[in-house]
């Protein structure tokens, strides 16, 4: 019997990307909950898996030697290739998914993360600082990009894929970060459609289930 994938996790948008994918692919996995406030991400054992001291990370034992993967985009691509799921078979479709995968890791994710920091953790006096406004505006710009892409289509590249899985968690928490989705009806519709998927619900509610 194959040993389950070790999944290093904390309930954040970046963690949800991978818990959703594992649930969507129906993979057997073992959740290792990380307490980021206590600094679990700096433990030497974890740094050997994720040298950037960030979760999520996984270890796949279904190989001759265990494979470690860090960074959510790399993990999603690895799991898509491993399971042959949520990645178009055509070269053009794959190209499109990879574009949005890289767009998220270079735009939506960093801007959402920095905005979240100023909104949730920085001193209240910093919420109106130049930096805070800059990240909030960039996050809104990303919403505008998604709004245009979702015009006349249900998912980012027509069929549900890792492009949706990687982007969606940072849209799920938009309202919790003080950003309204009212100006973005296509994004709002897509957000709800993805949210209704059973695997997505399980992925987001992961530690409340176990």
Which residues in the chain are classed under CATH 1.20.1050.10?
Answer: 91-199
pLDDT of residue 70: 98
| CATH 3.40.30.10 correct for 5-85 | yes
- Dihedral of CA 67/102/198/32: which sign? positive
DSSP reduced 3-state for 51: coil
- The enclosing H or E element of 50 equals none
Domain with CATH 3.40.30.10 in the chain: 5-85
What is the spatial distance between Cα 168 and Cα 33, in angstroms, rounded to a whole number?
22
Encode the chain (210 residues) as per-residue pLDDT tens digits. Answer: 579 999 999 999 999 999 999 999 999 999 999 999 999 999 999 999 999 999 999 999 998 899 999 999 999 999 999 999 999 999 999 999 999 999 999 999 999 999 999 999 999 889 889 999 999 999 999 999 999 999 999 999 989 999 999 999 999 999 999 999 999 999 999 999 999 999 999 999 997 744
Whole-number pLDDT of residue 210: 43
CATH architecture for the domain at 91-199: Up-down Bundle (1.20)
């Amino acid at each position: 019997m194959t040993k389950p994938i070790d999944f290093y996790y904390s309930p954040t948008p970046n963690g949800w990307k991978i818990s959703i994918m594992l649930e969507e692919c129906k993979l057997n996995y073992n959740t290792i909950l990380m307490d980021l406030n206590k600094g679990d991400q700096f433990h030497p054992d974890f740094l050997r898996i994720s040298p950037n001291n960030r979760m999520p990370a996984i270890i796949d034992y279904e190989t001759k030697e265990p494979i470690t993967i860090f960074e959510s985009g790399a993990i999603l691509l690895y799991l898509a290739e491993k399971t042959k799921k949520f990645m178009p078979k055509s070269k053009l479709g794959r190209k499109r998914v990879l574009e949005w995968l890289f767009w998220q890791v270079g735009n939506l994710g960093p801007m959402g993360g920095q905005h979240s920091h100023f909104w949730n953790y920085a001193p209240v006096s910093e919420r109106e600082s130049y930096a805070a406004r800059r990240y909030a505006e960039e996050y809104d710009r990303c919403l505008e990009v998604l709004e245009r892409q979702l015009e006349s289509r249900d998912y980012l590249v027509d069929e549900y894929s890792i492009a949706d899985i990687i982007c969606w968690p940072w849209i799920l928490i938009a309202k919790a970060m003080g950003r309204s989705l009212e100006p973005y009806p296509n994004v709002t519709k897509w957000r709800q459609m993805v949210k209704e998927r059973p695997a997505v619900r399980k992925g987001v509610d992961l530690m409340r289930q176990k």
